[in-house]
Chains A and B, each alone.
Chain A
Amino acid sequence: MISVVISLMALAVFFAAPVGAADYPTRAITLICPVTPGGSLDLNARAFAGIAEKHLGKPVVVVNKPGGSGAVGTLAVVESKPDGYTICLGWPSQTAIIIGEVVNGRKPPFTIDDFAILGRMTNSPPLFNVKYDSPWKTMQEVIADLKSHPPNTYKLGASGIYSIGHLPMEILNKEAGVKIQLVPVRGGGESIALQLGGHTHFSCRYPGPSLPLVKSKQMRVLASFGEEKIKNFEDVPTFKELGYPNIFFYSWYGLLANKDTPAPILERLRRLVKEVTQDPAYLSMMGKTGDLVDYADAEGTKKAWQREYNQILPLIKELEIEKKEKEKKQ
């Protein structure tokens, strides 16, 4: 008899009122970071988590779940319980993963619609870097050199295929009618070392890592992939100004949650992104690391993401077709 009562009481807990916005969060939230620790994405996540904790009142724990260029960690949130306690980062690598599968006729592990987008924190364009003592002082000189030499003469180091360091190069190749060759590297440090040692010529580096290199006169920034001038690099021309309005690219960091998360919790999380991006402590930290804080709400982020998807899809499709042609010849 007693055991029946106890079991009924235990069962009753499960039917208790679902957690409403007023109660959320009641425990720590897990922020999944789909890359190995140490990179700038990871650091952005930790900076966000540190400030978010103060606004939420509960800890935000960063868990690294690397693998498959971010697929593993991203899938973890798609498959998680939609209770708002598991969120993950969103950034262009996911776009590349989706497109990579779609153009090859395979089903992607997730799509943009599989997420409830919470908002965007940063949005930075890559910058075209050359070594300080290299012969090029302007982007026009680079493009002239690229056109007057055979394709693949000049190399650019980037980590990973279709990564945020590689895609800008392909956009430049396509729109300017040139052919820079990719040299895959492992990590930003190796990319810097290869460039300084003269083994590669160019790189598409983001404002964060570029700033110290420019300040210490080891690298020069010749052009920006943004559509407007950016902070700390006001004298760097954009490709738009140089006459290439179709050359633009952004790497952004946003926050994603499971698409079935209840509306009140989503609303709290979306508000959280806004609060953190307006927090002076967060802004000061981001200001020092060079990533540009550029808040966008859920709608705005989705629009920007869709725009990026539409920009990259034909690009990767062409590249994959090229690859298959090359293989057929061999």
Chain B
Amino acid sequence: MEFFSGIAQGFAAASSLNNLYFCLIGVTWGTIVGVLPGIGPLGGTVLLLPATFGMQPDAAVIMMAGIYYGAMYGGSTTSILMNIPGEAASVVTCLDGYRMARKGRAGAALFISAWGSFIGGTLSICGLAFLAPTLAKFALEFGPAAMFAITLLALLMISALGRGSILNTLCMAVLGLFLGTIGMDTMTGFLRMTYGIKELSDGIGFIPVAMGIFGVSEILVSTQTVLPTVIKPKFRELLPTREELNRSWGPIFRGSLLGFFIGLMPGSAHIVSSFASYALEKKLSKHPEKFGTGMIEGVAGPETANNACTGSHLIPFLSLGIPTSPAIALMMMALLIHGITPGPLLAVNHPEIFWGVIASMYIGNVILVILNLPMVGLFVNILRTPFRLLFPIILMICLIGIYSVNASRVELAIMLIFGIIGVFLRRYGFDGAPLVMAMIIGPMMELYLRQSLMVSGGNPLFFLHSTLATVLLIIAILLIVGSIVFSFLKPQAKKVFEES
């Protein structure tokens, strides 16, 4: 009963002209920030932070939340059109989305991406509204042991990202793990392989690496080939075919569930969610070998998942007052500055904020899908620009984007160096995606393993204290054992081994 009155109150609050106005600003700015490579929702929120000091608290949080999930919509645009991940979560969309664009299906990819984002976001908000209190307690279960198990599982799934031979994929994954170790060790303070370069003490950032390996290398490779004439898309080609739409429902549904569950994890949930969805779709598909050549499932699933995790990611914050990532910490600060204490009593003391934010997220998703779907045509027309003009502009945007985050020349150098490395990787049939993913997940896994061991006092059976961790680790073991057994049963798999 209280739920319905709450939701009604929420919609009333969210539909006030002031809140609608700031919701619109938030989602639009979020989309722009998502499209611009380099700067992410955190940077975008920080830029608007001074404006929030003078705003009403509910409008401030509505706007900041809008930036957060708006960025998930926009991030896919540059991934699909230019093979540049506009946002960390969109790295996976580059794999099939860009291939689709090259085949002339950019409009369909953008459409399905926006559509999936809408469904994922909306379902996630419903989940948030109904299940917040129950799930909040569950979210606290994600201690270091469970997080270690999840990152281990994610690492096992990296093989799904590769297009070529398994051996090449694994080489890239190992290289990514190695690159991820560079930097200061959080536990002891030792500097690993930084060679005295202070900027490397926080590690080689994966954003410059991802933009280098995907975007910059794409541009460099294109200078070596004669490009096909610019595609002039017709209106009918902008929309997905009936077949593509039908194939997308499954991934969208699965992506929503997966994204929602993974969003409960603290930290960089959206990256893991899109990646997990991609791996899942590839495993479930009847044509896994076609992934990486332009399969719509590889766009629909991940894009839905990264939007689905925005709703559940807010649960620890709205229900318990715990900020699970820097962007959310900013929202918390915005509330504190207005004298509102986030915590379990937020729903009771300030229902207009609690329910108002939830309702406005729903409204924001509607606004975003209305904004993004018609803009598909506009974006696809960017591809009509002659490549000799388009590529230098993209390069400039990448450089400015990277510098705008940390004002670091070292990161610019990293991006360009990895761009060149990316050219050689492609030449010899290696993929960048496993490298980037391993770079992200490797350090996370190491941190959680060591945290778990510290909490348990050195006991390697630390996961036994957490049912969640034990279950996940059993799944991981089953996956490994299952794959080995399977490979002996399937003759094709044996051939792959012999080929590499």
Asked if chains A and B come from one complex, the reply is yes
Q: Which residues from chain A sit less than 8 Å from chain B, CB to CB? A: 36-40, 42-43, 46-47, 49-50, 63-69, 71-72, 75, 100, 109, 152-153, 155, 160-162, 181-190, 192-194, 196-197, 199-200, 208, 211-213, 215-216, 218, 285, 288-290, 323
A-B contact count (CB 8 A): 149
Which of chain A's residues have a CB closer than 8 A to the CB of B322? 189, 192-193, 196
CB distance A181 to B454 under 8 Å? yes
CB distance B329 to A199 under 8 Å? no
CB distance A46 to B49 under 8 Å? yes
Q: How far is it, in angstroms, between the C-alpha of A161 and the C-alpha of B267 when the chains are bound?
A: 20
Q: Given the known A-B contacts A72-B199, A155-B455, are A184 and B321 also in contact in the complex, defined by CB atoms under 8 Å?
A: no
Q: How far is it, in angstroms, between the C-alpha of A100 and the C-alpha of B406 when the chains are bound?
A: 24
Q: Which residues from chain B sit less than 8 Å from chain A, CB to CB? A: 42-43, 46, 49-50, 53, 139-144, 184, 186-189, 198-199, 201-202, 266-267, 316, 320-330, 333, 336-339, 341-345, 405-408, 447, 451, 454-455, 457
CB distance B50 to A50 under 8 Å? yes
Q: How far is it, in angstroms, between the C-alpha of A161 and the C-alpha of B454 when the chains are bound?
A: 15
CB distance B341 to A215 under 8 Å? yes
Which of chain A's residues have a CB closer than 8 A to the CB of B139? 193
Which of chain A's residues have a CB closer than 8 A to the CB of B321? 212-213, 216, 218
The residue in chain A whose Cβ has the minimal distance to the Cβ of B450 is: A184
Q: How far is it, in angstroms, between the C-alpha of A160 and the C-alpha of B201 when the chains are bound?
A: 13
Q: How far is it, in angstroms, between the C-alpha of A43 and the C-alpha of B336 when the chains are bound?
A: 12
CB distance A289 to B337 under 8 Å? yes
Minimum CB–CB distance from B155 to chain A (whole Å) comes to 18
Which of chain B's residues have a CB closer than 8 A to the CB of A189? 266, 322-325, 328-329
CB distance B186 to A188 under 8 Å? no
CB distance B329 to A187 under 8 Å? yes
CB distance B266 to A193 under 8 Å? yes
Q: How far is it, in angstroms, between the C-alpha of A55 and the C-alpha of B337 when the chains are bound?
A: 21
Identify 15 new A-B residue pairs, CB closer than 8 A, beyond the known A69-B201, A185-B451, A189-B328.
A46-B49, A50-B50, A65-B406, A68-B201, A68-B202, A69-B184, A188-B329, A193-B322, A196-B140, A197-B143, A199-B143, A216-B341, A218-B344, A285-B337, A289-B333
- Residue in A38, A188, A200, A211 whose beta carbon sits within 8 Å of that of B455 in the complex: A200
The residue in chain A whose Cβ has the minimal distance to the Cβ of B343 is: A216
CB distance B189 to A153 under 8 Å? no
Between A and B, 22 residue pairs with Cβ closer than 8 Å are A36-B42, A36-B326, A38-B42, A43-B333, A64-B405, A65-B408, A66-B406, A67-B202, A72-B201, A183-B451, A183-B455, A184-B187, A187-B329, A189-B324, A189-B328, A192-B322, A193-B324, A197-B141, A208-B336, A285-B53, A288-B338, A289-B336
The residue in chain B whose Cβ has the minimal distance to the Cβ of A216 is: B343
| Leading 5 A-B pairs by shortest Cβ distance | A216-B343, A38-B326, A189-B323, A68-B201, A37-B46
Q: How far is it, in angstroms, between the C-alpha of A315 and the C-alpha of B186 when the chains are bound?
A: 19
Q: How far is it, in angstroms, between the C-alpha of A185 and the C-alpha of B450 when the chains are bound?
A: 11
Q: How far is it, in angstroms, between the C-alpha of A289 and the C-alpha of B340 when the chains are bound?
A: 10
Q: Given the known A-B contacts A75-B198, A193-B316, A289-B337, are A215 and B184 also in contact in the complex, defined by CB atoms under 8 Å?
A: no
CB distance A153 to B457 under 8 Å? yes
Q: How far is it, in angstroms, between the C-alpha of A181 and the C-alpha of B187 when the chains are bound?
A: 12
Q: How far is it, in angstroms, between the C-alpha of A130 and the C-alpha of B67 when the chains are bound?
A: 34
Which of chain B's residues have a CB closer than 8 A to the CB of A160? 186
Which of chain A's residues have a CB closer than 8 A to the CB of B267? 186, 190
Q: Given the known A-B contacts A161-B189, A190-B266, are A109 and B198 also in contact in the complex, defined by CB atoms under 8 Å?
A: yes
- Residue in A39, A188, A194, A213 whose beta carbon sits within 8 Å of that of B143 in the complex: A194
- Residue in A38, A50, A213 whose beta carbon sits within 8 Å of that of B343 in the complex: A213
Which of chain A's residues have a CB closer than 8 A to the CB of B407? 63-65
CB distance A38 to B327 under 8 Å? yes
Q: How far is it, in angstroms, between the C-alpha of A216 and the C-alpha of B347 when the chains are bound?
A: 12
Q: Given the known A-B contacts A68-B198, A190-B266, A285-B337, are A38 and B457 also in contact in the complex, defined by CB atoms under 8 Å?
A: no
Which of chain A's residues have a CB closer than 8 A to the CB of B342? 212
Minimum CB–CB distance from A244 to chain B (whole Å) comes to 26
The residue in chain B whose Cβ has the minimal distance to the Cβ of A215 is: B341
Q: Given the known A-B contacts A37-B46, A199-B143, are A68 and B345 also in contact in the complex, defined by CB atoms under 8 Å?
A: no
CB distance B326 to A68 under 8 Å? no
CB distance B320 to A183 under 8 Å? no
Which of chain B's residues have a CB closer than 8 A to the CB of A181? 454
Minimum CB–CB distance from B205 to chain A (whole Å) comes to 10
Minimum CB–CB distance from B314 to chain A (whole Å) comes to 12
CB distance B324 to A37 under 8 Å? no
Q: Given the known A-B contacts A65-B408, A181-B454, A199-B144, are A211 and B326 also in contact in the complex, defined by CB atoms under 8 Å?
A: no
Which of chain A's residues have a CB closer than 8 A to the CB of B198? 67-68, 71-72, 75, 109
Which of chain B's residues have a CB closer than 8 A to the CB of A152? 457
Which of chain A's residues have a CB closer than 8 A to the CB of B454? 155, 181-183
Q: How far is it, in angstroms, between the C-alpha of A200 and the C-alpha of B339 when the chains are bound?
A: 29
Q: Given the known A-B contacts A36-B326, A184-B186, A189-B323, are A194 and B341 also in contact in the complex, defined by CB atoms under 8 Å?
A: no
The residue in chain B whose Cβ has the minimal distance to the Cβ of A181 is: B454
The residue in chain B whose Cβ has the minimal distance to the Cβ of A285 is: B337
Which of chain B's residues have a CB closer than 8 A to the CB of A285? 53, 337
CB distance A50 to B53 under 8 Å? yes
Q: How far is it, in angstroms, between the C-alpha of A184 and the C-alpha of B187 when the chains are bound?
A: 6
Which of chain A's residues have a CB closer than 8 A to the CB of B337? 285, 288-289
- Residue in B329, B344, B405 whose beta carbon sits within 8 Å of that of A39 in the complex: B329
The residue in chain A whose Cβ has the minimal distance to the Cβ of B198 is: A68
The residue in chain B whose Cβ has the minimal distance to the Cβ of A43 is: B333
Q: How far is it, in angstroms, between the C-alpha of A184 and the C-alpha of B266 when the chains are bound?
A: 15
CB distance A199 to B455 under 8 Å? yes
